[in-house]
Every structure is written in structure tokens, then in C-alpha cells.
Chain A
Amino acid sequence: MSARKIRVMVAKPGLDGHDRGARILARCFRDAGFEVIYTGCHQTPEQVAAAAIQEDVDLVGLSCLSGAHRILFPRVVELLKEKNASDITVIGGGIIPEQDFQMLYDAGIKAIFTPGASLDSIVDWIRASIQTRDEHH
């Protein structure tokens, strides 16, 4: 069986337009051999969820630097659940204080990568997580 290409989405929910990190991640994922749906900034959680389903991605990476992650990240997870797409992994990054991590994990965010996380570590995490998921299928 041929190896599947990993499809990921990089999205910025909310009003924050600081997309340096998101764009670097998009390039990095492309260089790692992934197919990356890059939807840019100013997305509503509804737009993110709809796009993730239309594009059949394995994973959605959310980036937010404005502090709105506490509301917006869980909302994306919730919307995916409503549409029966909970198998899509959601991870987050940006300006997220550690005291918010547990709340986000509880809401269904599978990993959080803050500034300084190496690109390779993120790629490795994604590969490992998708492999684990496929093994359980």
C-alpha cells in the first residue's frame, strides 16, 4: 500500500493578522512533503471547520497571538465534533501562556507549540500522531 500524503491545514482564527509563524509553518510543512492548505488570517471558527472537512485534512494547526485562543481553539474542536469530524487532529500555537494549556487539552487540542519550538519537532510530532491514528484504524 502506497504511503499516504499527509494533508494539513494552517489557519489563523480570529482577528489577529500576525502570520509570520503560520507562513513559516506552511513552507516548512511543504518542505517536509506535506500538502498544506493555507487559509490565511481572519478566519472564523466556522470557516476553519468547513474548510478542514472539505479538504479532508489529517490535522488543523491553529495560530493565534491575540489571546483569543481560549475561546476560538475549543470552538473549532467543537464544530468539527458537530460535523462528525473529530478524527481531524487539532493543534495550536502562538502566544499562549502555560496556564491555559490544560484548559486547551481538556477542550480537545492535542498539542500546543509555543514560540521557540523547533520546526522539526512539530513535523515529527505530526508524523508520529498520524501514524498512531492510522494504526488504530
Chain B
Amino acid sequence: MYFSDETQKKSRRLTEKWQDEVQETLKSNPDRKDRFSTVSDLDIKRLYTPEDLKDVDFARNIGAPGEFPYLRGNQVTGYRGRHWTFRMFSGMGSARDTNARWHMLLREGQTGLSTAFDFPTLMGYDSDSPKALGEVGKCGVAIDTLEDFLELIDGIPLDQVTTSMTINPPATILWAMYCAAADIKGVPLAKIGGTIQNDMLKEFIAQKTFMCPPEPSIKLISDTVEFGAKYVPRWNTISISGYHIREAGATAIQELAFTLRDGIEYVEDVIRRKKMDVDDFAPRLSFFFNSHIDFFEEVCKLRAARRIWAKIMRDRFGAKNPRSLWMRFHTQTAGCSLTAQQPYNNIIRTTVEALAAVMGGTQSLHTNSLDEVFCLPSEHAVEVALRTQQILAEETGVVNTIDPLAGSYFVESLTNEIEEKTWEYIEKIDAMGGMIAAIEKGFPQMEIADAAYKFQRQIENKEKIMVGVNKYVTEAQHAVPLMEIDEKMGEEQIKRVQDVRRKRDNHAVKQSLTDIRTACKSGANVMPCCIEAVKNLATQQEICDVYREVYGEYRDPGLY
């Protein structure tokens, strides 16, 4: 028991007395509204007391940093040992443009890189594909071949900086480019570090950048896990993501539950398909969460995440290595919480969300820029976003002690509640036969669609407020200087890729593609052939087309 009988009794007495006074007060001073709830619609009580923690066992449920269940963090010295990585998601136009922005961010104190690709690259199409019309370079960097990639990482010391790449169906290919680039720069694979997002289950659930059906998609993911475990030990080959699930309209609990259940599915597949021991690869699994506007809900969600994953790894998978039990995650502040109205307000939102991520113990963080409701961030806007992290780290003192919110009656109670409800979802999906089965039935997709619609209705009837949108609305427009991507950039990129196709050894490319096809058909690991192919300047669409050919293309069920 967390509190002694004595304390509990005293608390009960005081709480009862307080309740009486509350009833009195409400008679003449009613609450502002009938119901107080989080942005995810969880009910929050007026007061939390020791009674809310009466079943909590301090050692088993809360414990110390660096100790199972890792509620208070994976590292024994927390942020006193090291700040979280300031890792700003960034990419725009051509590789050259992005490289310039990357150097600027590193100069301004960013400590890790994170790559945003344009839609054609994300979907496995070259810049000159008809499907790429109007999309080249617009929401991220356009990468067609290794030549583009080498420009992208120009001047970046690959053995000193870690790079995250938000890429899913073509993840094997972009990672192959990174490995090939390292090779060309003389950096051994054992020394490069980074992450590929490479999480297809959340694509089927939420983000919808898909290519091949679920089964083969997971096979490709397991290939990367295997290759990484053997040859690129500092690389996180999956970033099991909840961010996009949340952006699609999920509640905090759905975000957490579906993400963790995706993780379970991946672990099961690697063990089954690659016959690997869980401790051989689990230390390199990583996660990616959203940090939304309801401060305490997010802090509690992230803490609960660590505790649940540790239990899953130890109890469900029998992991022995403590590092297998660590949940390491990157966080991004919530894009969907930002408003187009009064955009400077977004700075405040991002700040609160960043603070929640830090209080939740994130390993690395991206903060959105105020203008991202309109377009890619301008230099000035991204600078403010980066400074937000630096101010939190250097000025506010919140990093002086580890997991400062622990022990709060509210925080521990809410953490427990979120954990409980998350387990319910996990068990439900288990009963359906796993995540792939659940996706086939449309379960997570419909849960999310219902939650999104419910939230929208709550905004419409002002049950939930968004400042500037349904309250404190002004007619005045606050113009924000916006960045533009030139259409000319697209035309140049098209010329580039066509040039590469002409100049390269097309015979070698054809052979590489054949080798990949053979690997796919035989079930062998595709990574070695991918690396070979990208070195020969195969385009990323050419390799994706092989995947499409062998594995088929996923058909969107169009659920609403």
C-alpha cells in the first residue's frame, strides 16, 4: 500500500469535509461547465487524493529511474546526464536546399537530424512519374537516387550525428542509400546511427502511405531488423509510431494501445520469421509518440507507455536484457492541435506540448513551427521552434530533477487509468487474432474515425474549445511570412533523375533489380541487394516497382 492506514484515514476525513464544502459552494457558485475532460475526452475529477493511490505498490508500480518497470525513466541519471536530442523534422525542395537547412539547424544547436521526404519519395515514385505531378519537393525533400542522397548528407559527419528518416514503404531503399553513402564516405556501418520509421502497420491504420499488402510489408521490416542487428548495431530499424494515429483523430489511449500492439506484432514476426532471440533485436526497437495539448494526459500517457512496454517485453516475450525492456521514444508536438487562425498562438501550444514531452521523459523531440498549418516552416519559424526546446532545457529548471511529477496523486492516478484502458484495447486486439487481423476487420481505423468525428462535433458545439477557432475569434488576419517551394524546383529534379538514368550503367542496374526480385521471391533478406542497387544508381521507384510486382499493391478499403 502506498500510504499508511493512518494517512488514508486522515485523507478520507479531510476529503469528506471538503466534499461537504464543495456542495455548499456549488449552490451559489456553480462550476463553469458540467463536465471537465481531457482533449481525448477522459473525465477528470475535481480533486485527487491519497485515496486514489491506495492500491499502488511503490516499489512495483513506481520504483526508481533505470529500474523495472521504468516508469520514472530508462536512465539512472535522466536529463542530468544528457538532454533529450533536439531533432527537428526537416526537408524541403531539393537535396541541396535541405542540406542547407540541415546545416543551419546544426549551427543553431540541433543535436540530431530528421528527414522529411516529399510525397513521391514517400510513396515510392520518382520525380518524373505522372503520379508525382505537383508534388515534387512540396512537403519534404525529393530523393530519387543515391546522387540526391549524397547531396543531402553533404558535409554531415555520419559517425558523429544520428539521422532519423521518416520513410515507410521505401524504408529499405532509403536506408540502403544511407548505408551506401556511409560506405562511400569511409564510415563503417558499425559506426552509423539513426532511425528509419519503417512502420507499415500504422500506415494501414492511419497515415495511408502504403504500397504492398500487410504480409510482405512486415517481411521487409523484419529484413531491416535482422540486417541492423547483424551489421548496423547503432541503428533503430523501426520507429513504432503513434504520432500519426493520434493525428488521424485517435484518443491518447488509442494512440498508445495501437502503437504498443503494433510493436507486439513486429516482435512476434521477427522472432517467428527470422528465428532471432528477442534480446538480439529488442534493444534497437524505438517508438514515436505525439505530444498533444492536454498537458497531464500526455505526461501520463508517456509514463504509462514505458511501464506497459517493459511488462510486455519481460512477461510476454521473456526478454532478459534490461535494454530490451526500455521503451525509447521520439516525440513530436501535435500538428493537429495547431490552428490557421491567429497562427502566433501556435508557439504557445508547441511550448506546452514540448514541456509535456520532456516531463514524460522523451529521448528526442521535434517541435512544430507556427506556420506549419500553411506550409513548410520558414527559417525564422523553425528557429523559434528549436529555441523553444533549448529554453526548456536551459532556463526552466524542469530538467534539474528526474521525473518531477512522480508521486502527484493526479499524475499517478491518471497514469494508472491510462495503462488500464490501454491493456483493455491490447487484449481486445489479441482476441481478434492480432493487429493484422484487426486491420482487416477495420477495427482500429473505425475507432479512430469515430473518435475524430466525435471530437469535431465537440468543437462544433463548443464542448471543447480551440482558441481563435471557436472562442476568442478575431476578424483580423495576422499575416505570417510564408515559405514557397518553386515549381521550377520540380522541373529541375525531373531533369536530374532523367540525367542519372541516361548516364549510369543500365546493365548493372538491371542486374541489381533482378537480384532484388530473386531475393523477394525466395524470402531472402533484401538489404544487401538494395545497397548494391542504389550504388548502381537504381532509382527508388525502380526498386519499389520490383516490390509492387512481386508482392502486389495494397488496395485501400476506403473506410470512413
Contact = CB atoms under 8 A, between A and B. Distances in A.
Q: Are any A and B Cβ atoms less than 8 Å apart in their complex?
A: yes
Interface of A: 14-20, 23-24, 26-28, 38-42, 44, 65-72, 75, 95-99, 114-116, 118-120
A59 B353 CA distance: 38
A39 B125 CA distance: 22
Contacts of B432: none
Contacts of B377: none
Query: 9 nearest interchain CB pairs?
Result: A17-B208, A71-B134, A67-B138, A68-B134, A40-B558, A15-B119, A97-B374, A68-B135, A116-B469
Contacts, number: 111
Nearest to A10: B560
Q: Which of A39, A65, A115 has the most CB of B within 10 A?
A: A115
Given A15-B131, A18-B208, A38-B560, A119 B119 contact: no
A131 to B, nearest CB: 23
Contact of A116 (B132, B466, B560): B466
B297 interface: no
Nearest to B459: A118
The size bracket of the interface on B is: 35 or more
Interface stretch (B39-47, B173-181, B398-406, B449-457): B449-457
A116 B340 CA distance: 7
Interface in B82-127: 118-120, 122-123, 125
Given A15-B119, A67-B138, A99-B482, A115 B339 contact: yes
Interface in B364-395: 373-376
Contacts of A72: 133-134
Contacts of A115: 339-340, 373
Contact of A118 (B122, B123, B460): B460
A19 B208 contact: yes
B119 A38 contact: no
Contacts of A114: 340, 373
A66 B134 CA distance: 9
B470 A118 contact: yes
Interface in B430-457: 449, 452-453, 456
Contacts of A66: 118-119, 135, 138-139
A17 B336 CA distance: 15
A20 B247 CA distance: 8
Given A115-B373, A116-B339, A70 B207 contact: no
Contacts of B20: none
B500 interface: no
B485 interface: yes
Contacts of A67: 134-135, 138-139, 375-376, 485
Given A17-B207, A20-B249, A97 B375 contact: yes
